[in-house]
Structure 1
Amino acid sequence: MKTRSIQRMAMPDAFVILFGLLLVAWLLSFFIPSGQFERTTEGRPTVIPGSFHLVESSGLNFFDIFLSIQNGFISSANLIALVLVMGGAIAVVESTGAINAGIKSLVDKARGRKYLLAIVVSFVFGVVSAIGVGSNAVIAFIPLGIVLARALKLDAIAGIAIVYLGYFSGSAAAVFDPITLGIAQSIAGLPLFSGAPLRVALFFVLLAVTMAYVCRYIKRISDDPARSLMGNQPFSTEAIGSDDENLTFTRRHLVILIFFVACLAVFIYGSLGLGWGVNELSAIFMINGIGSAALARFSPNEFVQMFMKGAKGMLYGAFIIGIAKGITVLMAEGMILDTVVNSIFVPLSTLPSMLGALAVFVFNLFFNFLVPSGSGQAAVVMPILTPLADMLDITRQTAVIAFKLGDGITNIITPTSGVLMSVLAVGGVPWSNWVRFAFPLVCLWTLVGTAFVVIAVLINYGPF
């Protein structure tokens, strides 16, 4: 009886949670009127302020619930392919022993200083993100975090947190983000990357809070492994990597790691200078997998076997990504997103300046669950936020930072984020376990965000 009671109290699986959200989105379509803004047809589609109108809609039927899952898979096919290809490629590299031996050598040279390693790695990835490397790229580095966590006797949550949260500290601050920040400032009529000093300060505060939070968790599970949020299994069977402590770092391992780093460097260059994204990252990993197999002198059949084994381990996460995308697809088909935006922004225009700025920030915190794409969210809300900022008598730069903070903070827990679900799939961490870990940090980040929005209003954050 006790066992049955524990099973009933267990946190629902991510599939159950996402399907529940899918049903909620479907039900909302019967109560929220269908409406839409007119959008520009030149360049990236953006809404035209004041153009909202109700529209006739045939509505959603019961079959659309399940059809949206298929459409979610189609819409997120590039991310799903990336997860499968990366799982296969990393499995090949991991089979050579290069990653495990390299991380073990690093840990040995650092003499087990786990907090120093965690801080340095988080800082490096935070800077990489802050200078504009797109958030999709973080998926590529999660295996390194998992292997590092294994070597430090931590768990998969710590491995993901060291890399992913450091990375998203930079993403939330968006110091020199040419995509989301670039679009938002362009729509607001601001010079690209203007107002950087305040965002630099924001980045360091977010990163410091994140490092302290992650190090606290590391100390907790180091002192008592039973307190790990992963339970009795610190690394799930889906996580990449092994526990082999007897590896010796060889010259061949060094060559394979250099090739691995070179491939990632090529992608970072392409991301910054050539506009590369998910598809190119997937291609880079395919090249890396094949090249690593050749350097390790694996036969073609051995390569295929190891590649497929790694890809199979990613299937659960791949399905999660498709279903999560289905939620946003269903809401778009129900034509209720624009109605939500319009119905909330009209009352905001009557608020005092300080309350209005904070309300914009809070709105974007929650709207991010519906539209987790930063660039997509900017295209929807920034054309409305720009005249709203003028009416509230706050600078447009303040509206941009309130938008970007709202977009960045809840991205680390929203189940509709393809990047997050990909990261969790690669790391083998259930979404429910991750939320238990990350939600307090979201609250801390929200406090930091609130403080910086208040500062932006008080200093009349410019240039406009």
Structure 2
Amino acid sequence: MNVETQTSNVKPRKRFKMPHTFVILVVLVLVGAALTYLIPAGEFDRAEDPVSGNTLVVPGSYHHVENNPVSLFGIPKAIVHGMVDSADVVFFILIIGGAFQVITATGTIEAVTGRVARKFADKGRWVIPIFITLFSVGGFTMGMSTEVMVFVPIGIAIARALGFDALTGTAMITLGAACGFTAGILNPFNVGLAQAIAEIPIFSGAGLRIVLLVCLIAVTSLYLVRYAGRVRKDASQSLVYDLEQEATGEPIDFSSLPAMKLKHYLTIVTVVAGFATLIWGVSKLGWWMEELAALFLTMGVISGFCAGFGPSRIASEFVKGASAITYGALIIGLARGIMVTLDQGDVIDTVVYGLSTLVGWLPGSVQVIGMYLFQNVMNVFITSGSGMAVTTMPIMVPLSDLLGISRQTTVLAYQLGDGISNMILPTSSALMGSLAVSGIPYQKWVRFFWPIMLMWLIIGAIFVLVARAMNYS
């Protein structure tokens, strides 16, 4: 056998591939079951806070109880139990996904984007903060992430028309949505769900999150404007210069983009009125997931009728949206199975007690930074915001109670950890989808984005420290 034949028979070594999220969660369920054999069972006494109405752990009340390990045959039952326990959250997410799909199908987002593109296509670098701000709205309301890839070609076309590059066009779309998603002012998929788990009013504390959004937009815009300016001055400064040299596609005719019509204006009015009602209902009437789900359902149906859809078209779009988010909804149920396993084995409070003992002697600022870093690390393994909320918040909430950190601050640490690293993780469908559409290599994106991510991480740390200092509520 000659050398060439021997070489051809050698199979290339496979690179490590991150397991499917479902696999990771099932492994965590198994780990949880194993911990019920290794960790002593124990629990805290709990009492209702007369001021907030929240159920809080009583400091100093931890005590051991009889061990109750979860058997191997009890693990599948715990997973199913977790899905049943999460039914209200799962259907809440499904309804919102269906409603937003109806709204998206009206073409209103495309029409608004087209109008902005036509109006600001010749306004130089001003177009960058404008598009970042525009797409941040989608991020902090409907949790826009993967959907942004549809608008990336428009962003690239505008950027190239202004003398910038594909990286600038891609970034002003994707990072805009990421800024909004991370701030999560009215995002039901991360902040709303985490607040529900933490037993605090949904979408409360929006003031600080608005300031956070402004800071993220400002820093991102300045960085991107500076980069785009260098590229326009000297095209060879582009990190994707080779891609720009190969670009031969026909430029987008902005006049062909959808124009604003009456149905789009009516849809905008419906959505704005819906979110105004949401804020009123949550702040004045104490609305919870049932009322909010009903509101989103109503908003979606009315938006469909405003666009001229018949009942069957509305139902079809609703099912399409709910189907698309089934993956995330199932993650919530699986993640809940982890907590069911730990809860059945009576070890959750033991874990919380151990963590509180470990960090209790540290200054409060270090404690809250530790929670923030923990959430950032968890986002590497659980890329679903909803799944991470269900997995980590049941542990972080009682820990924050013991450490004297407000639950609102705990939610802030979670949402920052959930959002900041999404734009650099290769497991992020929003990032990888956008890069696939734009043709930008992942390595080039990392080289471009890591300074922004570092700035975002610093901003996040500052905000959790401020929240801790002001007892954010």
TM-score range, shorter chain: 0.5 to 0.7
**Which residue among 315, 327, 334 is the counterpart of 1:316?**
327
Q: Give yes or no for contact 1:169–1:210 (8 Å, CA) kept in 2.
A: no
Q: Does the 8 A contact of 1:162 with 1:214 survive in 2?
A: no
The one-letter code sitting in structure 2 at the alignment partner of 1:279 is: E
1:17 aligns with 2:35: no
Q: Note the C-alpha offset of 1:62.
A: 1.6
**1:36 and 1:412, CA in 2 relative to 1: closer, same or farther beyond 3 A?**
farther
1:34–1:56 contact (8 Å) kept in structure 2: yes
1:364-402 Cα deviation digits (max 9, x unpaired): 64379598479856751344223xxxxxxxxx8xx8898
Give CA deviations for 1:292-324 in whole Å, capped at 9, x if unaligned: 332333333333233323322222222223222
**Deviation of residue 89 (structure 1)?**
2.8
| Residue number among 247, 263, 285 corresponding to 2:274 in the alignment | 263
TM-score by length of structure 2 reads 0.64
Structure 1 residues 144 and 206, CA, compared in 2 at 3 Å: closer, same or farther?
A: same
Which residue is 2:88 aligned to?
A: 78
1:24 corresponds to which letter in structure 2? V
Asked if structure 1 preserves the Cα contact closer than 8 Å seen for 2:128 and 2:221, the reply is no
Q: Which amino acid aligns with 1:152?
A: G
* Residue pair 1:180, 1:378 contacting (<8 A) in 2 also: no
- Distance in 1 (alpha carbons) for counterparts of 2:316 and 2:210: 46
Structure 2: distance between partners of 1:115 and 1:347: 46
Match of 1:380 in 2: 398
TM-score by length of 1: 0.65
Structure-1 separation of matches of 2:342 and 2:367: 23
- Shift of the 284–159 alpha-carbon distance from structure 1 to 2, 3 Å rule, reads farther
Partner of 2:343: 332
Shift of 1:99: 2.5
Q: Tell me by how many angstroms 1:93 deviates.
A: 3.0
Q: 2: CA distance between counterparts of 1:439 and 1:78?
A: 38
Structure 2: distance between partners of 1:379 and 1:14: 24
Letter in 1 for 2:399: V
Whole-Å separation in 2 of the counterparts to 1:371 and 1:385? 21
Partner of 1:283: 294
- Residue 81 of structure 1 aligns to which amino acid in structure 2? F
Farther off after superposition, 54-63 or 11-20 = 11-20
Aligned length: 396
**Given residue 329 of structure 2, which amino acid in structure 1 is its aligned partner?**
A
Q: CA deviation at 1:7?
A: 6.2
Q: Per the alignment, do residues 142 and 319 of structure 1 end up closer, same or farther by CA in structure 2, a change over 3 Å counting?
A: same
Change (3 A) 1:401 1:262: closer
CA distance in 1 between partners of 2:465 and 2:261 (Å):
54
In the TM superposition, residue 38 of structure 1 has moved relative to its aligned partner by 0.6
TM alignment of 1:137-216, pairs within 5 A:
138-139=141-142, 148-149=151-152, 151-153=154-156, 161-169=175-183, 208=218
CA distance in 2, matches of 1:6, 1:225: 32
Q: Measure how far apart 1:40 and its partner are.
A: 0.4
Segments of 5+ residues of structure 2 without an aligned counterpart are: 1-7, 157-165, 186-190, 232-237, 244-253, 379-386, 423-427, 437-441
**Contact 1:118–1:215 (8 Å) recurs in 2:** no
For 1:325 and 1:124, how far apart are their aligned partners in 2? 30
Q: Is 2:369 the counterpart of 1:361?
A: yes
User: Any residues of structure 2 matched to 1:416-455 within 5 Å, and which?
Assistant: 446-448=457-459
Change (3 A) 1:327 1:381: same
Instruction: Measure the CA separation in 1 of the matches of 2:21 and 2:30.
Output: 14
Work out the CA distance in 1 between the residues paired with 2:318 and 2:184: 32
Distance 1:95 1:207, change over 3 A: closer
SS at match of 1:40: strand
Contact 2:82 2:337 in 1 (8 A): yes
Contact 2:57 2:401 in 1 (8 A): yes
Q: Give me the identity figure in percent.
A: 28
In structure 2, the CA distance between the partners of 1:301 and 1:441, relative to structure 1 (3 Å rule), is: same
Whether the aligned pair in 2 keeps the contact of 1:145 and 1:162 (CA below 8 Å) is no
One-letter code aligned to 1:28? L
The answer on 1:92 being equivalent to 2:109 is no
The aligned amino acid for 1:358 is V
Query: Aligned AA for 1:250?
Result: K
Cα separation, partners in 2 of 1:281 and 1:152, compared to 1, 3 Å: farther
Q: Partner letter of residue 361 of structure 1? A: I
Are the aligned partners of 2:263 and 2:308 in contact in 1 as well (CA < 8 Å)?
Answer: no
Hey, what does 2:251 align to over in structure 1?
Answer: none
For the pair 1:253 / 2:267, whether they are aligned, the reply is no
In structure 2, do the counterparts of structure 1 residues 400 and 449 end up closer, same or farther at CA, with 3 Å as the change threshold? farther
1:9-158 counterparts in 2 under 5 A? 9-41=16-48, 43-111=53-121, 115-121=128-134, 138-139=141-142, 148-149=151-152, 151-153=154-156
Matches of 1:148 and 1:72, distance apart in 2: 37
Instruction: Say whether residues 1:345 and 2:359 are aligned partners.
Output: no
How far apart are residue 121 of structure 1 and its match?
A: 3.9
- Following the alignment from structure 1 to structure 2, what is the Cα–Cα distance between the partners of residues 261 and 268? 11
Alignment of structure 1 residues 300-311 onto 2, 5 Å: 300-311=311-322
Q: Does the 8 Å CA contact 1:72/1:325 hold for their aligned counterparts?
A: yes
1:201-223 deviation line (CA, Å, top 9, x unaligned): 87765665566688899999x96
CA distance in 1, matches of 2:287, 2:16: 44
CA 1:125 to 1:25, structure 2 compared with 1: closer, same or farther past 3 Å? same
Measured in 2, the distance between the counterparts of 1:226 and 1:86 equals: 42
Distance in 2 of aligned mates of 1:304 and 1:7? 44
Moved more, 258-267 or 50-59: 258-267
How far 1:443 sits from its partner (Å)?
A: 6.2
Within 2, Cα distance between the matches of 1:46 and 1:37? Answer: 10
1:123 is displaced (CA, Å) by: 7.0
Q: CA deviation at 1:65?
A: 2.6
Greater Rg over alpha carbons, structure: 2
Shift of 1:104: 1.6
**Aligned counterparts of 1:41 and 1:248: Cα–Cα separation in 2:** 55
Letter in 2 for 1:27: A
* Aligned mates of 1:120, 1:30 — CA distance in 2: 51
Cα distance in structure 1, aligned partners of 2:314 and 2:398: 45
